[in-house]
Amino acid sequence: MANNVNLSEEYFANKLDEAKLHFERALDCKHTEFDDLYPYMIEHPQFFWYKRYVAWSELLTIVKLCEDLELPWTERFTERQAEYVRNRVMSSKVLDYWYETNETREHVG
């Protein structure tokens, strides 16, 4: 049983990392799986907003599963990012300050 718990924790940690990266790539207007699923959306102005919403929803879903399973998740985020996730609302504050400040933004690769 202990092996299953460790495997589950590792599995969810990896999924959380993937969801965080997906959100950050969407935040930075970089290519994600979403672009491949809906290539026609690029032509529409609301595309980037919707792409970010989808990535944010995915991140919140993985965090909720981690919480339900009592798995740690906050150490994968800065304190401010973890607070944004706990609040669950993707506000302009989240979009503007996810990287702490716009002056020190570290964009994902």
Paired tokens of 107: 């964009």
pLDDT of the residue at 35: 82
Can you give the pLDDT of all 109 residues of the chain as single tens digits?
A: 455 656 688 999 999 999 999 999 999 988 888 888 888 777 887 888 888 999 999 999 999 999 999 999 999 999 999 999 999 999 999 999 999 865 445 555 5
pLDDT of the residue at 102: 52
Name the residue type at position 31. Answer: H
The residue length of the chain stands at: 109
pLDDT of the residue at 1: 47
Residues 6 or more apart whose CB falls under 8 angstroms from that of 52 comprise 23, 26, 27, 90, 95
d(C-alpha 5, C-alpha 25), whole Å: 30
pLDDT of the residue at 82: 97
Paired tokens of 101: 């400040």
